[in-house]
Every structure is written in C-alpha cells, then in structure tokens.
Amino acid sequence: MTARLLRLELRRNAMVWMLPLLGLLFWLVAFRRGVAYPPLWNIRATSMQTAAVSVFAPSVVGVAAWIGSREGRHGMTGLLTSTARPRWARQVVAWAATTCWALLAYLVCVGVLYGVTAAQGAWGGPLWWPAVVGAASLPAFAAAGFAAGALRPSRLTAPVAAVGVFLALQLTVQLIHGDRSHWQISPLVANPWNLGADQGVATFYRYLPDLPIAQLLFLAGCTAALLGVLGLPAGSGGPWLRRSAAAVAAAGLLAAGSAAALAGTARIDPHGMVAIPVLHRAADDRPVPYTPICEGTPVPVCLHPAYAVYLPAAVDALAPVLGAVAGHRY
C-alpha cells in the first residue's frame, strides 16, 4: 500500500516540472563558475557545494510547501481523515517523493560537473564530502517546506517560504565571525569556507571531514524534527502515532542542537580548514604524499601533479633562466 502511494506521488509530484529549471539554474550558477576554475577538486567541489545549495534550497522549499499545503488549500483535510492511512503517513510519503526527485536532479547535476572535472585530468580522487552535504540538505529543505505548507496552508506559503529560506541561508554566512561560530553548521558553508586563504587544501593537505560530519548530523536532526512536528497535530493520527512523532521530533532537535554545539567548538587549522576537536583525527593532519611531475629540461622543472597542466607554461616562463643556468653549468 505504501509503495503504491509512493509511486502515485512520484508520478504527480510538482517537483517533476521543476527539474528543467533546476538544471538551468545549476548550469548558470554552479557549473559555469565551477569549470571557470582550474581543474582542481578542492576548488570545484567546495564552490559547487555553496552554489548548489543556493540553487536547490529555494526551489525545493517552495515546491514542498506547495505540496504540503495541498490538502488544506483544497479543503480536503476532513475528507481524507477517513482514509486507510493516517495523515502523517500520507505527508511523509509526499515528502519522500519530493525529496527523491530533488535528489535525482542534484545527483545528475553534480555527476556532470564531477565528470567534466575528471575528464580534464584533475589529480587525485573526487571530494565526496561537499557533494554529500549538499545531498543531505535536500531532505531537510523539503521537510521545512512541507511543514510550512501543512501548518499554514495558503497560496502565499510557497513563495514566502522559498524567499525566506534563501535569505536565511545568506544571513548565516554573514553571521560567521571567527572560527568558533555556531553558524558554520549551515550547509551553505563549505570546509574551508575561506578557501582563498590556502588553495593547497586537499592537494598538499588532507581535506578535514570534521565540519561536514557535524553538518550531516545537523541536517539529519533538522529533517527528523520537522517531520516529527507534522505528526503532532490532533488530526495526524492516533495517540501512539503522535507519541512516536513527538519522540522523533525530540531526537531530531537533540541531534541538531548537538551538531550546532560542536560547530561552536571548531578552530581553524594552519591550512584554513575547520577542525572540530571531538571529531578530529590526528591522521588527517598528515600531508598528502605525491610524486612530482618533471619536465626533461637541462635543469629539471617539477610541479605537483595536480598542477601538471601548468608545467609547459612554467617551463616557457623560466626558459631564459634555465638557458642561462644551463650555459653556466656547461
């Protein structure tokens, strides 16, 4: 029964009509900016996380709010009370369908960007943490929009919720002052959020998963808390279901609060990465081993393999010096 209801929601979900727009926005905001950077995983992956969250968050929240307010807007709440499934179950299924379509669009967009980066010869493996944080934010945004639509059903709820989430995300970045800010827990913040200070992150130095782990815990907690809130009203189901929803909401709030508290204990390491003492591993402080790429000139010119594409230009720029040194030596 639940599987059939999910298939029905997937077929008629409004997110399907948003997929072309999401693809276009991702290309304009994230893909074009990403490929303009050098083919380095650290720069492209972290910039992708910030841009993708900015693109997907308002759209997912708006569509989820529209779907969540569907029963209230059409005056069908009382009629659907007599159906076999409780209201909370129907809402969770509709939320899951919206999340599935959003995740599909996100995975396709990120897959294209990562595929292009790999084809351009980026050294090392892809950075998965930024992609995972971006993916984990979509269920939370869908839950936030759905809760807003279900609790305040109106035609204005969807646009107001979409604009509100966009402004709230931008505000979280502006509120970060110093390395012990709780606002670093925002999915809009990549690790490192000040990448320009040291572009050797994930090239010469390892990418620290401390902040992404805390963000995943925060997003999972927010998702659980928001879905639990949907099951608290009297018409959502029986007493046992409402108690279960309250327990889910409480567990989610505890997880989200713990993650925000962990972000408040963070520090910036010498390479500009956010390190959280409770989640930090000493092994992540070791430099990344590599074999230099060298040009066969009389005086060898060597670069890190991540910058191999710049080796011919470096040799050309150093040609007068190399010639003078070679003539002096021989």
User: How many Cβ atoms sit within 10 Å of the Cβ of residue 199?
Assistant: 18
Looking at residue 300, its pLDDT comes to 83
Q: Where are the beta strands (DSSP E) in 122-176?
A: none
Task: Please state the rounded mean pLDDT for residues 150-170.
Answer: 90
User: How many Cβ atoms sit within 10 Å of the Cβ of residue 237?
Assistant: 19
* Cα–Cα dist 33/316, whole Å: 28
| Residue 328: pLDDT over 70 | no
Least confidently predicted of 35-49, 108-122, 284-298: 284-298
pLDDT bucket at 20, cuts 50 / 70 / 90: very high
pTM exceeds 0.85, yes or no: yes
| Residue 84: pLDDT over 70 | no
pLDDT tens track for 3-18: 787 888 888 888 999 9
Alpha carbon 224 to its chain's center: 17
pLDDT tens track for 194-223: 544 456 677 888 888 999 999 999 999 999
Check if the beta carbon of residue 210 is closer than 8 Å to that of residue 266: yes
Nearest to 56 by CA among 23, 13, 14, 33: 23
Phi, psi for residue 274 in degrees, rounded to 5 = -85, 120
| Residue 108: pLDDT over 90 | yes
